[in-house]
Amino acid sequence: MKRIANSPLKILGLLTVIFGLLGVLTFSYFFFLGIYLVGTGLSIYLIDFLTLKLLKAKKKYWITQSILATAYLILGFVTYMKWQEHNYLIFPKDFKGQAGIIFGIEGYPELPKTKFWKKTINIPPDGIIITSTKVEDIPNSIRFAYSDNSKVEYQDINWDPNFEIDCIVCDSKIKSWLFQVDKESSTVKEIMTSLCNEIAANQKRSFYKSENSVVWSDNKGKYLWLQNKALTSLPDGLGKLNIYMAILTGNDLKEIPEQVFEINSLEELILEVNPIKEFPCNLSRLKRLKSISVAETGIKEINCDLSQLDSLKDFDIARNRLTKFPCRLPIFSTQ
């Protein structure tokens, strides 16, 4: 035992190997960290062996050992603290609703600097922070607190670190972190949509560009694909799009966005799996509409005269538990 721990580097190497083996034996997240530590510990033993062979003078050997051991301890401490780097979000007392940090908007203040591996971010009373800081430039772990130091129940704060909105009519997009506390709200999403409108009007600028277009093409022409985006609204300017179809499946839309009615070329509208409660009786504004799907929404009654929809051929209202359906219908297939 004395021979494997008779120098500062050997002691550090032995301790590193022991911690590594403990990590390997967990067979969890720490497994790969354990392998890394075992390799590091064995490397320290190799360095110790080289210093013993190359430095014959005892004094030089112990000075070198001390310097290398100190450097290793400092490096280990810095690495550990870097691993512990996090954002410390402080919410106002009794905050409820949706909060969020909207990233990468030019001209807005940067987030506070990280101090001692902690970036303290105070959420304002309205819950909204708009910053020029990019999400890639801050730690990706997070801790919560309330301003009155009351206990935080982490399960009560739903954090979505990947929400983004494509501005559609321009090549920009907006990224954000969303926090839902206690009750449902879409405040931050609505502000992101408004920012998209300002970006399209060249009044603001986002540092993020769309990697993939949401306007696709097939053999019938161009169409808008916004499926499962958790959207509550759409940006302005959709009338500029020459598309035949809009796919808005699986979002959080409570009604047909007004912007959809700007698309004069629209022939197919898919609104499946959205929390729409009332059937949109103003569909006649879409003069070329041939097909609409409002399947699996929250519609229970249709209180309008569908016979006015002369262009409509396909009408999907499946899985809606309808209790009221109009008597006067145009001739189309209901799926």
Q: What is the CATH number of the domain that holds 322?
A: 3.80.10.10
User: What pLDDT was estimated at residue 1?
Assistant: 55
Q: Which long-range contacts (CB under 8 A, 24 or more apart) does 140-144 make?
A: 141/85, 141/86, 141/87, 142/86, 142/87, 142/88, 142/89, 143/86, 143/87, 143/88, 143/89, 144/89, 144/91
CA dihedral 228, 199, 201, 271 (to 10 degrees): 10
Average pLDDT score over residue span 52-79: 89
**Is pLDDT above 80 for 39?**
yes
Residue 315's SS3 state is strand
Q: What is the pLDDT of residue 326?
A: 62
Is the pLDDT assigned to residue 308 strictly greater than 80?
A: no
How large is the average pLDDT for residues 277-302? 89
- What rounded mean pLDDT belongs to the chain? 89
Distances (CA, A) of 234 to 19, 103, 125, 175, 274: 52, 19, 26, 15, 14
207 domain-assigned:
no
Rounded Cα distance, 145 and 252, in Å? 29
Q: Percentage of the chain with pLDDT > 70?
A: 95
Q: Residue 47: is its pLDDT beyond 80?
A: yes
Same domain, yes or no: 93 and 74? no
Asked whether residue 270 falls in the same domain as residue 298, the answer is: yes
- Of 59, 83, 107, the one marking the end of a domain is 83
Residue 95's CB is within 10 A of a number of other CB atoms, namely: 19
Chosen domain end from 83, 107, 124: 83
- State how far the Cα of 312 lies from the Cα of 309, in Å rounded to an integer: 6
Please compute the mean of the pLDDT values over residues 280-284 and round it to a whole number: 85
Going by C-beta distance under 8 Å and a sequence separation of 6 or more, which residues neighbour residue 317?
294, 295, 299, 302, 334, 335
pLDDT score of 313: 87
| Locus of tokens 């999403």 | 189
Domain containing 146 equals: 86-200
Note the pLDDT tens digit of each residue in 163-215: 999 999 999 999 999 999 988 889 999 999 999 999 999 999 999 999 888 99
Residues 236 and 332 in one domain: yes
Let me know how long the chain is.
335
Judgement on whether residues 254 and 193 belong to the same structural domain of the protein: no
As a whole number of Å, the end-to-end CA separation of the chain is: 79
d(CA 238, CA 303): 28
Is 276 found in the same domain as 165? no
Cβ proximity of 306 and 326 under 8 Å: yes
Evaluate if residue 324 carries a pLDDT over 90: no
pLDDT of amino acid 334: 47
Res. 230: pLDDT tops 80? yes
Residue 1 belongs to a domain: no
The string of pLDDT tens digits covering residues 68-86 is 999 999 998 888 877 889 9
Tokens 């022939």 belong to residue: 267
- Residue 208 inside a domain? The answer is no
Strands 221-225, 245-247: pairing is: parallel
Mean pLDDT over residues 244-265, rounded? 95
Which structure tokens are listed for 209? 């560009």
Query: In terms of C-beta distances under 8 Å and separation of at least 24 residues, what long-range contacts does 109-112 make, across chains too?
Result: 111/138
Question: Greater confidence, 2 or 150?
Answer: 150
* Whether residue 173 is found in the same domain as residue 239: no
Number of domains in the chain: 3
Contacts of 196 (CB under 8 A, 6+ apart): 165, 167, 168, 170, 172, 174, 235
Q: Last residue of a domain, which of 170, 200, 230? A: 200
How do residues 94-116 score in pLDDT, each as one tens digit? 899 999 999 999 999 999 998 88
- Rounded to the nearest 10°, the torsion over CA 95, 100, 101, 105 is -130
